[in-house]
Structure 1
Amino acid sequence: MDVLVLVGRILFALVFLVSAVGHLTQREAMGGYAASKGVPAPVLATVFSGLLLLVGGLSVALGVWADVGALLLAVFCFPTAIVMHDFWKVGEPQTRQTEQVMFLKDLALGGAALALFAFFAYVGDDLGLTITGPLFTIS
């Protein structure tokens, strides 16, 4: 089971790590998109969110306080879904559909991150192939 959880952690974290690289290397372009959504200090917000994705993704993938990393990823996903993918405000049907898919993807990833948080906190130090145990404990 430890190997399956490790592979799952890495695959889950991969989408966040790739996104972190994009946020940090294309911050001006992504900041422009954030500005179009009304995000204050959009380039700074893009860098901050990129760092959040990087830290959370590495934490989950490497198993360093993976519970905290999963929470950081959830903290990213839910506001991003609402602010950046507000499909209910879009009139053009194809763009609306794309934004709705992205909204639902972010909700699903946020939900998975919350489930991973609970899993890591519940299993505790019994989960192998991690560098540290969880910071939180759920009984």
Structure 2
Amino acid sequence: MSKDFSDLVFRILFSLIFIGLGGEHLVSDDLIQKLMPEWVPSPRLVSIFCGLVLFVGGGMIAIGYRLKAAALILGTFLVAVTALVHAPALQGHFSPVACPEDQWMWDTLQRSNFVKNLCLLGVCAMLPFYSAGKWSLEAFLEARKH
């Protein structure tokens, strides 16, 4: 596998979670709104905003355009949602679960989302030092200058 192909695969696979979840926030977010803490104002507007942030940031990475900006956008989002939603939920500050027998599922979801976000944040911390590669919008635009 060439480095150029590997760069493309990396960008696409890494961005899929952001693009997919962003699309879900924008198109079908009923469940997402139900899982939001009660203190979140205007859950639908917050969901749309989050969806746009995720979709745009993930899309920028997928096409290889302004990776530093995309990393900053997504990294900021990850810090905010992890600190404001997943960490408090881990400590039991809120739970939308009505049935006590299902609390373990909520707790598992919060633990996995917390750790997943930390992993994604680690990649975002490295993206500013990463070159998008030959098969990227950045490389295409640079080649057109010459």
TM-score w.r.t. structure 1 length?
0.79
User: Which residue in the other structure is 2:39 paired with?
Assistant: 38
Structure 1 Cα separation of the partners of residues 63 and 91 of structure 2: 37
**How many residues in Structure 1 have an aligned counterpart in Structure 2?**
127
Deviation at 1:37, TM superposition (A): 4.6
Range with greater deviation from structure 2 (89-98 or 70-79)? 89-98
User: Which residue in the other structure is 1:68 paired with?
Assistant: 69
User: SS of the residue aligned with 1:78?
Assistant: helix
* Structure 1: runs of 5 or more not aligned: 134-139
> What is the aligned-residue RMSD (CA, Å)?
2.1
> Given the alignment of the two structures, is residue 83 of structure 1 paired with residue 84 of structure 2, yes or no?
yes
User: Which residue in the other structure is 2:109 paired with?
Assistant: 98
User: Which residue in the other structure is 1:137 paired with?
Assistant: none
Runs of 4 or more, structure 1, over 4 Å off, are: 90-94
- Evaluate the alpha carbon distance shift between residue 52 and residue 81 of structure 1 in structure 2; reply closer, same or farther with a 3 A threshold: same
Identity %: 28
Which of 2, 5, 8 aligns to 2:4? It is 2
Which of 16, 40, 46 aligns to 1:14? It is 16
Structure 2 counterpart of 1:130, which letter? Answer: S
Q: Which has the higher contact order (CA 8 A, sep 6+)?
A: 2
Structure 2 Cα separation of the partners of residues 79 and 37 of structure 1: 16
* Structure 2: runs of 5 or more not aligned: 96-102, 140-146
Structure 2 Cα separation of the partners of residues 115 and 44 of structure 1: 31
User: SS of the residue aligned with 1:64?
Assistant: coil
After superposition, residues 111-126 of structure 1 pair within 5 angstroms as 111-120=122-131
User: SS of the residue aligned with 2:65?
Assistant: coil
Listed one character per residue, the Cα deviations across residues 66-86 of structure 1 (whole Å, up to 9, x for unaligned) are 221122111121111122213
Range with greater deviation from structure 2 (55-64 or 90-99)? 90-99
